[in-house]
C-alpha cells in the first residue's frame, strides 16, 4: 500500500497536428506536463483556430494507465469535435501522446535467506 506522503507522478507529453494546404500534416502545438493523481487533466485543448471548444479526452487514458500494472502508454487521439454531424465543421486535428507514470520506490524488500 502507498504511504500518503509518497506521490505518484504522471508525465504527459503530446504533439498536436493539423492538415496543411498541401498533403501532409503540420505541427501546431507541443507540450509536456507533470501532474499528480490529484490534478491530471481530463482534456487537452485543441489549438485549431476553426475549432470551437474542442479538445482531446486524455483523462480516461491516464486513468486506464493508473489502474493497470503498466508504467507508460502511447497512442493518438482525434479531437472530439471530429465527430460532429455537420461535415464542414469537423475538426481534423490529432495528437500523439505519451503518458509515463512514476510510482514511488518500495524501500521494503523481503529478506532473502542466506545459504551457507
pLDDT, tens only, 39-89: 999 999 999 888 888 899 999 999 999 999 899 999 999 998 876 566 566
Query: How many other β-carbons are positioned within 10 Å of the β-carbon of residue 14?
Result: 19
With H, G, I as helix, E, B as strand and everything else as coil, classify residue 64.
helix
pTM as predicted: 0.76
Phi, psi of 74 (to 5 degrees): -140, 140
Percent of the chain having pLDDT more than 70? 74
Q: Where are the domains of the chain?
A: 9-102
- All 3 cell numbers of residue 45? 485543448
Amino acid at each position: 500500500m502507498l504511504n500518503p506522503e509518497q506521490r505518484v507522478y504522471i508525465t504527459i507529453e503530446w504533439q498536436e497536428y493539423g492538415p496543411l494546404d498541401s498533403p501532409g500534416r503540420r505541427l501546431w502545438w507541443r507540450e509536456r506536463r507533470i501532474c499528480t493523481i490529484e490534478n491530471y487533466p481530463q482534456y487537452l485543448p485543441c489549438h485549431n483556430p476553426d475549432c470551437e471548444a474542442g479538445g482531446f479526452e486524455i483523462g480516461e487514458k491516464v486513468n486506464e494507465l493508473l489502474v493497470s500494472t503498466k508504467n507508460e502508454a502511447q497512442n493518438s487521439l482525434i479531437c472530439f469535435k471530429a465527430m460532429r454531424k455537420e461535415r464542414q465543421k469537423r475538426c481534423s486535428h490529432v495528437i500523439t501522446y505519451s503518458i509515463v507514470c512514476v510510482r514511488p520506490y518500495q524501500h521494503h524488500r523481503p529478506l532473502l535467506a542466506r545459504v551457507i
